[in-house]
Chains A and B, each alone.
Chain A
Amino acid sequence: MKNINDPKQLLVSAIESGTVIDHIPASTLFKVIKILGLDRIKNQITFGTNLESKTDGKKAIIKIAGKFFEDDDINRIALVAPNAKLNIIRDYEVIEKRVVEVPDTITAIAKCMNPKCITNFEKVTTRFRVVSKKPVALKCQYCEKITDQERLEII
């Protein structure tokens, strides 16, 4: 962590094997951590935020040692980090690069923006059909109202 304050060093130290998630908007870093459940796992994790990026303004990066994600898991972050890029690392080498893709359905991540929706009254797992991927628009399976990017809230 102290590396972030020292510009002469690598901002976030390299990992031997695991996954690097780059190009996360700085503003949604903690949502990504929450969605992937990184706050609950034992792996070594380093992250940096408010880093300069030529393309994204302020970006964040997460490095998770010894962790590899399934597509279905990693695509869950597409709602909050649509341009995220994954580097899969083995023996300090990038062996694969992946991008995230907004899935066709979203389960248990987003909150329905309709205050009169049953999902905001009872313990119901939210489920949405993705009606637009860019910008994101989600149709609630219950109340059938659209939650758009601007009103998107992560549970």
Chain B
Amino acid sequence: MKTRSLVSIDDLTTEEITRILSLAAEFEKNPIQDLLKGKVVATLFFEPSTRTRLSFESAVNKLGGRVIGFTDSASSSVTKGETLNDTIRTVNNYVDLIVMRHPIEGSARYASEISTVPVINAGDGANQHPTQTLLDLYSILKTQGTLDNLNICMVGDLKYGRTVHSLLMAMSRWKTSFNFVAPEELMMPDEYKLYLRNLGLSYYETADLNEVINMADIVYMTRVQRERFSDPMEYEKVKNAYVLYDHMLAETKPGMKILHPLPRVNEISTDVDSNSKAYYFEQALNGVFTRQAIICSLLGLK
């Protein structure tokens, strides 16, 4: 039961984060290695998430490991009424590591307590998705050369967005200033603002992206989802206010990069894709190196 798992970004010390990021840089230089030869990794996806799963499977395959698992709960024994407890106790006999995505919050922590092999949380409902946060940090570090003294502009759904909350918590370990750009209904929750205030970190809130975009080192875009609005009229009013177009980037810092956890719908206009500041597809590639680093780190192979 005392195996090391990754459930929440808060499980890691700043030194451990830094270590994983430098390991990721090593894997970027040399992604094909035989470190996982003879090892089997389970990808248990109780709800579908194609990008995250493929990224993990790519990471394992590049290191010579094998992957078994299921891609949604319809194809597992959950449909027969099996508990998570039983699934984990069974599967941990077959594999060296479990990667799990589950719609119920706290399921990953629970699995990590039961499992005899390390568990990586690939998203537990609206709660945590630490490998996303680590790959975001890696992308920021790689493009900015540092994690210190950066200006991060978060745009879109800041109320429900799990990725922005985790990234905020992680970046608050360094001297970061934040700009929050969101419609009234989707502003950053008070608990996170209070958290920053207690750390003495500055933030600024606005509904107008143009007001703050030129200060940013990183623009972190997220999707504004229709279903988040109690009033559909309200959605219609704001849906185009949080779309990034190429012409808005003219006066931004030369080294600024645009990140997005993907999938994108329309919040970044496709005319941005060819701008050198667009970084979201490279960010997805960084996810593979970061996950290689996390897996090897948990298995004590690096």
Contacts and interface: CB of A to CB of B under 8 A. Distances in A.
Interface in A86-144: 112, 114, 116-119, 121-124, 140-144
B126 interface: yes
B85 interface: yes
B8 A144 contact: yes
A151 interface: no
A74 B109 CA distance: 29
B127 A143 contact: yes
B127 A144 contact: yes
A118 B83 contact: no
22 contacts: A116-B104, A116-B105, A116-B125, A116-B126, A117-B104, A118-B84, A118-B104, A118-B105, A118-B107, A119-B106, A122-B83, A122-B84, A122-B85, A122-B110, A124-B106, A140-B106, A142-B105, A142-B109, A143-B105, A143-B125, A144-B105, A144-B128
Interface of B: 8, 83-85, 103-107, 109-110, 124-128
A115 to B, nearest CB: 10
Contact of B104 (A121, A123, A140, A141): A121
Nearest to A121: B104
Contacts of B109: 118, 141-142
A51 B127 CA distance: 45
Contact of A124 (B103, B110, B125, B127): B110
Interface residues of A, number: 16
A114 B103 CA distance: 13
Contacts of A142: 105-107, 109-110
Contacts of A121: 84, 104
Nearest to B102: A118
- A-B pairs, top 6 by smallest CB distance, nearest first, are A142-B106, A143-B105, A143-B106, A118-B106, A118-B107, A142-B109
Nearest to B113: A124
A124 B106 CA distance: 10
A141 B124 CA distance: 13
A142 B128 CA distance: 10
A123 B113 CA distance: 13
A80 to B, nearest CB: 24
Contacts of B85: 122-123
A34 B109 CA distance: 28
Nearest to B103: A116
A88 B105 CA distance: 43
Nearest to B125: A116
Nearest to A140: B106
A41 B254 CA distance: 73
Contacts of B128: 144
Contacts of A118: 84, 104-107, 109-110
Nearest to B86: A122
A144 B103 CA distance: 15
B242 to A, nearest CB: 27
A127 B84 CA distance: 18
B256 to A, nearest CB: 32
Given A118-B110, A141-B109, A144-B127, 17 more contacts: A116-B104, A116-B105, A117-B105, A117-B106, A118-B106, A119-B106, A121-B84, A121-B104, A122-B110, A123-B85, A140-B106, A141-B106, A142-B105, A142-B106, A143-B124, A144-B106, A144-B128
A143 B85 CA distance: 16
A118 B224 CA distance: 27
B110 A114 contact: no
